[in-house]
Chain A
């Protein structure tokens, strides 16, 4: 500590330890703020249309078009360490082979507490497609509205706001 350089050196070394401790404390404090946001999700209609494979132009592919209604209040999720919330609507279904598929069909990034009251009537933002290019083997799907909190410091947390109370049947191609 006798010279300017050694004082700088010792000071910055202790400062880095203190900052690490501060960041750790902020991370841990986030686990205290647990909230259960309330929301409601209804599927208005679903149609299965015939489209084209975006990668192979001459290949036909079934595309699900989903209309839905979402209301959610994400305000309780905003605390001092919330940077933004990624809200997404996900279709979940099992194929005949028993493979569970989760497809995100709509999302929204909520950056401010003022925008956290969600009331959306919309159509899917990303088309509902299956790897097998058809929904023939899929009887029905569940839809869930989920969120992902992105903090300034710490870990991502996932959660669910709402879910359809019963499975929504996939119509045949072209049917409403």
Chain B
């Protein structure tokens, strides 16, 4: 039971998933910063700037923090166990 809870809290994802999450985080954060600035400047409202920023950060957090199945669809394929361990 304790192992199961630990596993759940750790939220491990595979290597392909990590690559995807990193790209997603990088592009979405920078794009939303620029979009927030332009929106606020165009409509002359600072609250709109920070609203846009906050909303996109919330959406991004939901998208990348939990270990969604999409990030775990490429599990590592280990070689089959050697039939005689310890012997070459």
| Residues 48-62 of chain A, each 1 if its beta carbon lies under 8 Å from chain B, else 0 | 000000000000000
| Residues 16-29 of chain A, each 1 if its beta carbon lies under 8 Å from chain B, else 0 | 00110110011001
| Residues 142-162 of chain A, each 1 if its beta carbon lies under 8 Å from chain B, else 0 | 000000000011000000000
What is the minimal beta-carbon distance from B23 to any residue of chain A, in angstroms?
Answer: 10
Give the residue name and chain of the A residue nearest to B31 (CB): A18
| A14-B18 Cα distance, complex, nearest whole Å | 16
Please give, as numbers and ranges, the residues of chain A lying within 8 Å of B9 by CB-CB distance: 4
How many cross-chain pairs have Cβ atoms below 8 Å apart between A and B?
65
Contact: A15 with B29, CB < 8 Å?
yes
What is the minimal beta-carbon distance from B70 to any residue of chain A, in angstroms?
Answer: 14
| SS of A interface (majority) | helix
- Contact count band on B: 20 to 34
| A8-B44 Cα distance, complex, nearest whole Å | 32
Name the contact of A2 in the complex, choosing from B13, B36, B57 (C-beta under 8 A): B13
| A29-B44 Cα distance, complex, nearest whole Å | 11
> A10 at interface (Cβ–Cβ under 8 A)?
yes
| A8-B32 Cα distance, complex, nearest whole Å | 18
| A2-B29 Cα distance, complex, nearest whole Å | 19
Interfacial residues of chain B within 40-66, with CB under 8 A of chain A in the complex: 40-41, 44-46, 49, 53, 57, 60-61, 64-66
Give the residue name and chain of the A residue nearest to B19 (CB): A1
Contact: A22 with B44, CB < 8 Å?
no
Contact: A1 with B40, CB < 8 Å?
no
| Residues 13-24 of chain B, each 1 if its beta carbon lies under 8 Å from chain A, else 0 | 100001001100
> A79 at interface (Cβ–Cβ under 8 A)?
yes
Give the residue name and chain of the A residue nearest to B36 (CB): A22
Q: Which 7 A-B pairs have the closest CB atoms?
A: A4-B11, A1-B18, A80-B44, A18-B33, A3-B10, A18-B29, A25-B37
Binding site for A on B (CB under 8 A): 9-13, 18, 21-22, 25-26, 29-30, 32-33, 36-37, 40-41, 44-46, 49, 53, 57, 60-61, 64-67
12 A–B contacts, CB within 8 A, in A order = A2-B13, A3-B11, A4-B65, A4-B67, A15-B29, A18-B29, A18-B30, A22-B36, A26-B37, A26-B40, A26-B49, A29-B37
